[in-house]
Amino acid sequence: MSLLLENVKKSYREPNGSTLPILDIERFEVKEREQVVLIGESGSGKSTLLNVISGITAADSGKVTIAGTEIASMAEVVRDRFRAERIGFVFQTFNLLPAFSALENVLLGMSFSRKKPNRDRAKELLALVGLEHRLHHHPKQMSVGEQQRVAVARALANQPKLLLADEPTANVDLANQETILHLLRDACAQNQISMLLVTHSQEVAKQFDRVETLSDFNKVHAKV
Amino acid sequence: MNTLTIAWKSIRQRRLASLLTALSVALGVTLMISVLVINGVIDRMFNQTASGYDLIVGPKGSALQLVLNTVFRVGAPIENLPYRYYTELKKDPRVEEAIPFAIGDVTQTGGFPIVGTIPRYFALEYVPGRHFRINADGKFLPGTWDSVIGSAVAKQNNWKMGDEFSLIHGSAESGHVHDEKFKIVGILAPTGTPNDRTVFVNLRGFYQVSGHEKPLEEAIRREAAFFGETVDEEKLKTLAKENAAHDHHDHAGHDHAGHDHDVPDAQKEVTAILVQMKGDRLRGFTTIKFQSELKEGNQAQAVNPIQQISWLMTNIVGNIRTMLIVLTSLIIIVSGVSIFVSIYNSMSDRKREIAIMRALGAGRTTVFAIILSESVLLCLGGGILGIILGHGLVFIAAPIIEARSGLLINPFAFSSVELILLPVLVVLASLVGFIPAMTAYRTDVASTLSD
Ligand SMILES: Nc1ncnc2c1ncn2[C@@H]1O[C@H](COP(=O)(O)OP(=O)(O)O)[C@@H](O)[C@H]1O
Ligand SMILES: [Mg+2]
């Protein structure tokens, strides 16, 4: 399998000192090449879950296994490197660094893995998302939809095993939403990448074969 | 993309702020370079100039004034010594070489100091290990009306071989122009010493310039008073008579080639005598002994020029130099602080960029290094620009300063201190970049991304 969560717990410490539990997941699995959409309301812990999976946030307990490797027990540097090489990330907005052109943003995505950044591949990826004519545009000179497409290209840059998308279409118009979702799905399918996309939108969810609701398997939500 | 490229991109993103901070570093470094180069010139000027002789013998008075006047040819001479004092000193068995100097006049054009001396002066080293060089067809003052001029004099007055010039007694504005003319028979190669701004004339000719020889009777009385002797009144009268007969013809308009009547020694005076002592191993000891004997004689003083100059260096020039270096260092530190402020202020805007890079797999140390590199790039960029500007300034200013002051500045002058300047800037940059880099290192990725 591509992703396996086992007994993952995460809670935050609130300013008043009490703990606020967010996640308590017994088991959650994404198979190889599977494309899963996860629905949850705002504040239900979707972003927290993605951060735990990618190793940005450490879980309080439990195991997170990606492509056969358990990441929770890794040293931070190793986990950072693992994230660079195995995980692609697309956020809701402001994915790109304003100082860098579209092409440079994609190259930046290649800069933290052990492989050498490949300019030709970066150009191919931008062509794949239909931006071959925007290589040297800076984020400010692009629409939000175009910026999200650059983010998709960048997420694919290191040929990851798993692509995580955090409401990638929440801030774009409908036409762009369709394009971006198609791009993500096609690219993942073609490159044998598993995808986990979180959203609060049923509209987005209905395009996927496997749709999960966070509250169905997250015990924390069940308690509320 | 490596750390430096990423750092460079963010520097370019904040073009104006980056440019201003780098410029402030550049300004500090430019000033530092100028100070270092000027310092080198002053150092050479003060520490190497009085070489080739051990002592300067002159009239009693301020030792520093004697050195400034004799070596640097600034200020007025203290007084004069009778020529006989020179001839007697020359006979002292401990003295290897004694060179008389007569100082006090200036050239009519340019107001350069005139030194009446003997050709052997040019056999002395002007800085340790360096001998005077003259133009190919030049000669070192063989004839009575010959003159050898320093390189700066030649350049500024546009004087050539064979040119003739007049002397002025006193200052160039108010002084009396002498009728006699000296002819240039040699032009010295640049030495980087006050010799470059000096006009040397043959001492014999100097004395023959009307007004330079003291009236005979006055001279004899003064000399007698100096040595504490009584004047032979009878002899004085006959001498005066002879002299009056001789003095009938006027110097004006004469061709000097055939015009040479030596002035009696009694009528001559010297401003200073450069003395080289005999002996090698005991030379220092002999010098000190000679110096104190002369002091006891109570007629003159012998001054060690090196001592006076090093006093001047430590007490005045050295302090000014230290002050200038401290000042320019402060400017550089202030520019360092401005780099800190600039980067630190940008950190809140860049939290998200740093979080994105972390999400893309950049480690804490990587983002730390990126921010630190920005600081180092700004400092080094500014520093290198400053070094270029500083040397450019020196290159442009060197001929101007040389023309105005005669200070010889190598336009390519390079101070070894510059070698540590860039490493010091890197350390400074690391210090001021550390706190912003730490902010980047500590960025909480999850909460920054959710903002
Ligand atoms: N760093 C944090 N400290 C404390 N509470 C947090 C932190 N990050 C998120 N939370 C809380 O955790 C809950 C889940 O947040 P999040 O995962 O961003 O939800 P979603 O992405 O589903 O909207 C929210 O109630 C949020 O306030
Ligand atoms: Mg969220």
The predicted-structure confidence for B345-400, as pLDDT tens digits, reads as follows: 888 888 999 999 999 999 999 999 999 999 999 999 999 999 999 999 988 988 88
3-state SS assignment for residue B445:
helix
Instruction: HSE, CB side, 13 Å, CA atoms: give it for residue B432.
Output: 27
Query: ipTM, 2 decimals?
Result: 0.94
State the pLDDT at residue A224.
Answer: 44
B322 lines ligand 1 (CB under 6 A): no
E strand or H helix that includes residue B169: strand B164-169
What is the C-alpha separation between B196 and B151, in angstroms, rounded?
A: 5
Protein residue with its CA nearest to atom 1 in ligand 1: B447
The domain of B165 spans: 55-303
Same domain, B119 and B233: yes
Which residues of chain B fall below pLDDT 50? Answer: 248-257
Residue among B6, B352, B361 minimizing CB distance to A94 = B352
CA distances from B132 to A146, B73, B120, B161 (A): 77, 18, 11, 17
Neighbours of B412 (CB within 10 A): 10
B365 lines ligand 1 (CB under 6 A): no
For chain B, what is the domain count?
2
Distance A90 CA to ligand 2 centre (A): 12
Domain boundary among B303, B335, B351: B303
Distance A87 CA to ligand 1 centre (A): 22
Contact B375, B433 (CB under 8 A): yes
Read off the tokens for B331: 């400017």
Percent of chain B with pLDDT over 70: 90
Read off the tokens for B69: 């006047």
Same domain, B330 and B396: yes
Best residue among A23, A47, A167, A223 to mutate for probing ligand 1's pocket (most ligand atoms within 8 Å of CB) is: A47
Q: How far does chain A reach from its first CA to its final CA, in angstroms?
A: 31
User: What residue of B is the nearest CA neighbor of A91?
Assistant: B449
What is the C-alpha separation between B347 and B372, in angstroms, rounded?
A: 12
Same domain, B96 and B40: no
State the pLDDT at residue B234.
Answer: 79
Residues of A in contact with B1 (CB under 8 A): 104, 107-108, 110-111, 117
What is the C-alpha separation between A83 and A76, in angstroms, rounded?
A: 10
Residues of A in contact with B354 (CB under 8 A): none
Look at A56 and B445 and tell me if their CB atoms are within 8 Å. yes
Q: Is A224 exposed, middle or buried (0-12, 13-18, 19+ CB in 10 A)?
A: exposed
Same domain, B377 and B286: no
What is the C-alpha separation between A74 and A80, in angstroms, rounded?
A: 9
| Residue found under tokens 């996640």 | A23
Distance B9 CA to ligand 2 centre (A): 29
Q: Which numbered atom of ligand 1 lies nearest the CA of A167?
A: 21
Angle between helices A144-156 and A174-190 (to 10 degrees): 10
What is the C-alpha separation between B358 and B361, in angstroms, rounded?
A: 5
Look at B359 and A84 and tell me if their CB atoms are within 8 Å. no
Protein residue with its CA nearest to atom 10 in ligand 1: A12
Beta bridge partners of B274: B56, B99
Residues of A in contact with B360 (CB under 8 A): 83-84, 89, 108-109, 111-112, 154
Same domain, B375 and B392: yes
Q: Which of B3, B360, B366, B451 to mutate to test the interface with A (most CBs of A within 10 A)?
A: B360
Distance A77 CA to ligand 1 centre (A): 25
Residues of A in contact with B357 (CB under 8 A): 97, 108, 112
Contact B184, B158 (CB under 8 A): no
A52 lines ligand 1 (CB under 6 A): no
Q: Which numbered atom of ligand 1 lies nearest the CA of B446?
A: 1
What is the C-alpha separation between A6 and B362, in angstroms, rounded?
A: 27
Distance B276 CA to ligand 2 centre (A): 92
Domain boundary among B248, B282, B303: B303
Domain boundary among B303, B333, B363: B303
Same domain, B275 and B371: no
A42 lines ligand 1 (CB under 6 A): yes
Contact B231, B198 (CB under 8 A): no
Same domain, B142 and B224: yes
B298 lines ligand 1 (CB under 6 A): no
User: What residue of B is the nearest CA neighbor of A158?
Assistant: B360
What is the C-alpha separation between B205 and A15, in angstroms, rounded?
A: 99
Same domain, B299 and B395: no
What is the C-alpha separation between A84 and B359, in angstroms, rounded?
A: 8
Predicted structure pTM score: 0.75
Same domain, B19 and B68: no
Beta bridge partners of B113: B106
A92 lines ligand 1 (CB under 6 A): no
CA distances from B289 to B286, B292, B301 (A): 5, 5, 13
What is the C-alpha separation between A106 and B352, in angstroms, rounded?
A: 17
State the pLDDT at residue A112.
Answer: 93
What is the C-alpha separation between B383 and B380, in angstroms, rounded?
A: 5
Distance A57 CA to ligand 2 centre (A): 14
Same domain, B123 and B269: yes
pLDDT tens track of chain A, all 224 residues? Answer: 789 999 999 999 888 988 999 999 999 999 999 999 999 998 899 999 999 999 999 999 999 999 999 998 899 999 999 999 999 999 988 889 999 999 999 999 999 998 888 999 999 999 999 999 999 999 999 999 999 999 999 999 999 999 999 999 988 999 999 999 999 999 999 999 999 999 999 989 988 989 999 988 888 864 44
Same domain, B281 and B393: no
Residues of A in contact with B365 (CB under 8 A): 77
Contact B57, B89 (CB under 8 A): yes
E strand or H helix that includes residue B7: helix B3-13
Look at B359 and A154 and tell me if their CB atoms are within 8 Å. no
CA distances from B361 to A87, A133, B84 (A): 9, 28, 92
Same domain, B339 and B292: no
What are the start-end ranges of the H helices in B70-195?
83-91, 151-157
What are the start-end ranges of the H helices in B50-150?
63-67, 83-91
What is the C-alpha separation between B33 and B421, in angstroms, rounded?
A: 10
Max distance between CA atoms of chain B, in angstroms, equals 117
